[in-house]
Amino acid sequence: MGEAGWWVLQRATGILLVLPVGVHLFAQATGAVDLTVRFVSDLALLVLVVLHSLPGLRTMVHDYVPDSRLRVWAERLLLLGGAALVGYGAWGLWKFFA
Amino acid sequence: MGLRFEVRRPAYPLSWPRLHRAGVWARRLQRVSGLVLVAFAVWHVFQVVGAAQDRARLAAMVSTLYHPAFIGLVLAALGFHTLNGLRTVLLDLGLLGSQRQVGAILAAALGTVLLVAAALGWRLR
């Protein structure tokens, strides 16, 4: 993915995050949200948080890691960590709501 | 023939140093709040997975999440990151002039304070 793609990903996921974050906070404060809606919203929140944080963390890697080979490995590590967090979190949410 | 000099307007407005400082601080805070939120998200995922297996851990997680200091920290990071991020998007799209940056950053900070105050008011009521 090119730099423009990362830029769009961060902005788009940032805007999309407002809805599931709002639902999550409202549900925690009131408890007045259907369980299925909460599950779907929390799952979307998890995926969007990871997709939003990846470009930000990648920017930090580019700012602070001068070696290009190390940067590539750090990016791979970030992608792997993000995928693992989504998988682990989705499994945890499924267990939590079940 | 001869040299012609063109009078140009300065590239930056006269308030550039103030504008620049505010932008630098907003960028630093955006980065720090983002890191706080990433750390919180990772911690929260592990807590939820633990709570799904053990109800005692659920009680501990809820107790931590509803602690006023924790609410204040997380919502301060979330509020500033969201509002300042919105400012950045508006700036990138050309919908917010550079002359209004200091005001927009202050508005983001004020919005964050109000959000945290409202959340703590709700928690401590």
Q: Is A29 on the interface with B (CB under 8 A)?
A: yes
Model ipTM? 0.92
pLDDT (tens digit, 9 = 90+) per residue, A35-70? 999 999 999 999 999 999 999 999 999 999 989 999
For residue B5, what pLDDT is reported?
64
pLDDT confidence band for A98 (50 / 70 / 90): confident
Q: Which of A29, A56, A89 sits opposite B45 (nearest CB)?
A: A89
Q: Is A55 on the interface with B (CB under 8 A)?
A: no
For residue A28, what pLDDT is reported?
87
Helix ranges (H only) for B13-67 are 16-53, 55-65
For residue B24, what pLDDT is reported?
87
Q: Which residues of B touch A56 (CB under 8 A)?
A: 31, 34, 38
What DSSP line would sit under chain A, residue for residue?
--HHHHHHHHHHHHHHHHHHHHHHHHHHHH--S-HHHHHHHHHHHHHHHHHHHHHHHHHHHHHH---HHHHHHHHHHHHHHHHHHHHHHHHHHHHHH-
Q: Is A21 on the interface with B (CB under 8 A)?
A: yes
> What would the CATH number be for the domain defined by A3-97?
1.20.1300.10
Q: Is B78 on the interface with A (CB under 8 A)?
A: yes
* Cβ–Cβ < 8 Å for B93, B64: no
* B23-124 fold: 3 helical TM bundles of succinate and fumarate reductases (1.20.1300)
Average pLDDT per consecutive 10 residues, chain B (125 residues; last block may be shorter): 61 57 88 97 94 88 92 96 93 82 91 94 87
CB atoms B89 and A93 under 8 Å? no
Mean pLDDT of A67-74: 93
Q: Which of B31, B37, B52 sits opposite A96 (nearest CB)?
A: B52
CB atoms B42 and A85 under 8 Å? yes
How do the domains of chain A map onto residue ranges?
A: 3-97
pLDDT (tens digit, 9 = 90+) per residue, A77-91? 999 999 999 999 999
For residue B18, what pLDDT is reported?
60
For residue B12, what pLDDT is reported?
52
Look at the pTM and tell me if it is higher than 0.80.
yes
Closest approach of chain B CAs to the CA of A40, in angstroms? 15
Q: Is B42 on the interface with A (CB under 8 A)?
A: yes
